[in-house]
A = this chain, B = another copy of it.
Amino acid sequence: MTQKNLDVVGIGNAIIDALAHVEVDFLKNNLPADVQPYAMTLITETQADEIYGSLKNCTIMPGGSAANSIASFAALGGRAGYIGKVANDQLGQIFTHDFRALGIEFHTKPLEGGPATARCMSMITPDAQRTMCTYLGASVVFDEKDVDEALIARANLTYLEGYLFDDQRAKAAYTRAAELTHRHGGRIALSLSDPFCVHRHREDFLQLIHDHVDVLFANEEEMKVLLGSSDVDAAHAEIAKYCDIAVVTLGKNGSQIISNGEKYQIAVVEPTKLVDTTGAGDAYAAGFLYGLSQGQNLAECGRMGSQSAARIIAHIGARPTGEMS
């Protein structure tokens, strides 16, 4: 069996974020009618150009849900790899550079001659909430061939983001990644990403969780949508039957972990300042999984998740910056 010399391999949509502060009125007046405030909406390249054109003082930095988690995981000191598709363009080079600078193994072949590297406009309102519009571009021209068995074989855990379900090719790659992970004796973690994404692919998520997932991350809304229940506690208890560890993040109310019939309530760690919640969930998962990789108990894993999220909320963007590491 291959030597396990990586803690986590992440698989997700490789995206560059453009982050900007906007007023709530901007969300009402400048976005396509079907964009959901405080959620993630998929948009076309033309819409992306229009929205970007209307934003001021953008901060450009690598994003992508699982990618953010992997970046935070590596910044904490973990050994990480990543599988995801950028295009062979300048934004793809920025994405790749930032990963490699953190010591993350990232070898997925960039896409040549197809759509550009994916872009997400993250619009931050004065309440520090983010509304995201994503043009998926190259990130979903990602299929089973891109699932690097050698990398997966070396990792103790494969971490998947729900957003990949938004494309049929990526979904097939997921199933392949899950099978390979178990064949090589690894575990699978999944983050549900977004309530609307869960709504779009509810049955497939339930199947994947049932068949493959060991550690599940979701927020309240996602958990309710997943089980079609208005009671988050009941939904959480139910889904915990499908997987070893089920974690629900509760925003200002901390988080809750259920595993082996035990329930752990984790207090929130207050951020030093409330700037931008973009990537807070991704950072939570990173801290939690880092604790797990270090053999910490579940309560401590939850605390490390909360701490990691608090750090990300205190600055703009979804990735750790120089100051924190």
Q: Which residues of A contact B (CB under 8 A)?
A: 20-21, 52-53, 55-61, 89-91, 94, 97-98, 100-102, 116-117, 320-322, 325
Contact = CB atoms under 8 A, between A and B. Distances in A.
27 contacts: A20-B322, A21-B322, A52-B97, A53-B100, A53-B101, A55-B101, A56-B101, A56-B102, A56-B322, A57-B98, A57-B101, A57-B320, A57-B321, A58-B97, A58-B98, A58-B101, A59-B59, A59-B61, A59-B321, A60-B60, A60-B61, A60-B94, A89-B89, A89-B90, A90-B90, A90-B91, A90-B117
A91 B89 CA distance: 10
Given A60-B60, A90-B117, 13 more contacts: A53-B100, A57-B321, A57-B322, A57-B325, A58-B98, A59-B59, A59-B61, A60-B61, A89-B89, A89-B90, A90-B90, A90-B91, A90-B116
A298 to B, nearest CB: 31
A101 B58 CA distance: 9
A99 to B, nearest CB: 11
A21 B325 CA distance: 12
A55 B58 CA distance: 22
Contacts of A94: 58, 60
A90 B56 CA distance: 17
Chain B CB within 10 Å, residue with most, of A60, A94, A117: A60
A325 B57 CA distance: 10
Contacts of A57: 98, 101, 320-322, 325
A63 B60 CA distance: 13
Contacts of A90: 89-91, 116-117
A55 B53 CA distance: 29
Chain B CB within 10 Å, residue with most, of A53, A89, A322: A322
Nearest to A87: B90
A316 to B, nearest CB: 9
A64 to B, nearest CB: 16
A303 B131 CA distance: 40
A170 B203 CA distance: 62
